[in-house]
Structure 1
Amino acid sequence: MNGDVDEVLRAIAEPRRRAILRLVATEELPAGRIAEHFEVTRSAVSQHLQILKDAGLVLERRDGTKRIYRASEDALAQLREVVESLWRESMARARDSVEGGDALRDEQVAG
């Protein structure tokens, strides 16, 4: 990811940006085609694209006067690693809490 993790998470916190990311995750699209999917101005879509680009989640290339966008596979893979890490940590804490709770109950029953 070009951007830091906090910047990436802020970028995907907005539902339209997540939707844009989904659109360009499987194919390259020009800005105009992306904008057709939303009931906001093209300028608003351009701003969302810029935020995604600044966070390193979207790559842009020029084709004449058109700007073509696609998701950065590397950035998405790194984002997946971050989310999976958070998930593993959360599950480990939940497991420890449950196991710790069982140990406490066992001590109370024995005591």
Structure 2
Amino acid sequence: MSAPALKHDVFQAIADPTRRTVLQLLARNDMPIVAISENFPLSRTAINKHLHILSDAGLVSSRRVGRETRYRLQPERLIELKDWLAFFETYWDDRMSLLKEFVENTPDPQ
């Protein structure tokens, strides 16, 4: 049986600053929605919508603990971001090396 298709990609999911902050909170430890909501001037319903988007992208998972649902970061999906950003890190490293070489080999106009 194959894994279910994700409704949102990682890039869409992290596009919102609130969702990025939620990920940072969950990186510290698992949290219920009540604890997550305390960090924002938003309703629990709004936070719940953000959590659903993060869950649909595979960035968070949830599990029932007693009467509450606890959310957990799923960092494996962030590898896609890391790989994408690594390309541009190499790109800028190459560009900066070329600039350095140009500056060092350009005669001083004085």
Report Cα offsets for 1:73-99 as digits up to 9, x if no partner: 21233432222233223433x248648
Contact residue 60 and residue 72 of structure 2 kept, 8 A: yes
| Residue-pair matches, total | 100
TM-score, reference length from structure 2: 0.74
Question: Structure 1 CA distance, aligned partners of 2:22 and 2:74?
Answer: 13
Q: Read off the aligned partner of 2:20 and give its amino acid letter.
A: R
Which of 35, 38, 42 lines up with 1:36 in the alignment? 38
Q: CA deviation at 1:18?
A: 0.5
Question: Structure 2 CA distance, aligned partners of 1:79 and 1:64?
Answer: 34
Question: Structure 2 CA distance, aligned partners of 1:36 and 1:19?
Answer: 12
Contact residue 63 and residue 70 of structure 2 kept, 8 A: yes
- The RMSD of aligned alpha carbons is 2.7
Question: Structure 1 CA distance, aligned partners of 2:52 and 2:16?
Answer: 13
Question: Structure 2 CA distance, aligned partners of 1:70 and 1:85?
Answer: 28
Aligned residue number for residue 109 of structure 1: none
Q: CA deviation at 1:33?
A: 0.5
Q: Which runs of 5+ in 2 are unaligned?
A: none
TM-score, reference length from structure 1: 0.73
Cα 1:3–1:89, aligned 2, differ >3 Å: closer, same or farther? farther
Question: Structure 1 CA distance, aligned partners of 2:24 and 2:34?
Answer: 16
- Further displaced range: 39-48 or 70-79: 70-79
Report Cα offsets for 1:18-38 as digits up to 9, x if no partner: 000000012000111001110
Query: Percent identity, aligned pairs only?
Result: 32
Aligned residue number for residue 17 of structure 1: 19
Q: CA deviation at 1:15?
A: 0.7
**3-state secondary structure, aligned to 2:9:** helix
Q: Read off the aligned partner of 2:83 and give its amino acid letter.
A: E
